[in-house]
A and B are shown apart, each in its own frame.
Chain A
Amino acid sequence: MKQQSMKKTQLNWSDFNRGIKQGIPIALGYIPVSFTFGLKAVNGGIPVWIAILISLTNLTSAGQFAGAGLIIAGASLFEITLTTFVINIRYMLMSLSLSQKITRMPLYKKCVMAFGITDETFAVASLGKTEVSFAYMMGLITCPYWGWALGTVLGAVTTSLLSEKLQSSMGIALYAMFIALFVPASKKSKAALVVVIVAVSLSSVLKWAPYLNKISSGWSIIIATIIASTIGAVLFPRKEDNFD
């Protein structure tokens, strides 16, 4: 066991390069989104270097936006932490899902690559047909990580140069990227399409239905995800060990 992992300390470059290649479109998609983040954070009074620090240490879309908004609003540390945590609980599902698809690797490598799990890197890694190795995952997260940082820097220093209308328009970039990830996959699989439709319907109900609309958006996402995936698993159980 020990010997095996010693032999594998050499990085598998072909996996790494495959990851890099698949990460580039994610990085390009991140730039307008993190640009918006940098813009909003600095416009709200957060110093440029703090905005960049948030992107470098958090590397998450929804959680960061909410956290920065609360910092700007002068919320308590408790509220900031709790809200960010609730929004990010969905990563537990992704991390668990990914744990079933990774190659054997030492604990520290799992801890390193876990930092790079985002909605997009997870979607790309888990929709891929092969097992996820450490080298592949590191390749996959490299460009998105720096793209996320770069966009934040650009947004943070440009702030007032952009018209308000353009700034507002950029808010849709993040969601458009989600759409770009699930639509092509749902086109090919009826099961995936059904899961998406159920998830969308549930999150709409949780947003608009009386009483239910008191649930925070972080929890709504988790509840909708769990129910929709359960329905998918009941209606369309997967055949053994197929990743495709």
Chain B
Amino acid sequence: MTKTLVAVILMAVVTYIPRVFPIALYRRRIESRFFKSFLYYIPFAVLGAMTFPGILDSTSDFYSSLVGMMVALILAYFEQGLMKVALGAVLAVYLCELWF
């Protein structure tokens, strides 16, 4: 139990450090147009990289994950909001796993 608790504390620390250091220590405005653009594109890049191919392993079946992904893409394309997209994808995967 002590080890688990220590593990949780260490996890919390190494999760907080990368969040806090850059924003706390870097005070200057970046002037370089290139670097500014680079930082602007970070959210798109990181979300894309985290989503695919990770999403294919997110459920117990590859094909139902694929279907869930398509449903999420369609709902997101029509700008349905986080909750609807998340639940829609879960439901699609669940129906796939029930039927096949």
Contact = CB atoms under 8 A, between A and B. Distances in A.
Interface residues of A, number: 105
Given A28-B82, A117-B19, A50 B40 contact: no
A129 interface: no
Interface in B84-100: 84-91, 93-94, 97-98
Interface string A78-93: 0011001100111111
Contacts of A232: 37-38, 40-41, 44-45
Q: Is the interface of A mostly helix, strand, loop or mixed?
A: helix
Interface in B1-48: 1, 3-12, 14-24, 26-27, 29-30, 33-48
Nearest to B12: A57
Contacts of A234: 34
Contacts, number: 317
B20 A95 contact: yes
Contact of A229 (B27, B42, B75): B42
Interface residues of B, number: 79
Interface string A125-143: 0110000000000000000
Interface in A22-66: 25-26, 28-29, 32-33, 46-47, 50, 53-54, 57-60, 62-64
Nearest to B64: A169
Interface in A214-244: 217, 220-221, 224-226, 228-230, 232-234, 236-238, 240
B82 A180 contact: yes
B24 A195 contact: no
Interface in A78-118: 80-81, 84-85, 88-100, 102, 107, 110-111, 113-115, 117
Interface of A: 25-26, 28-29, 32-33, 46-47, 50, 53-54, 57-60, 62-64, 67, 70-71, 77, 80-81, 84-85, 88-100, 102, 107, 110-111, 113-115, 117, 119-120, 122-123, 126-127, 164-166, 168-187, 191-192, 195-200, 202-204, 207-208, 217, 220-221, 224-226, 228-230, 232-234, 236-238, 240
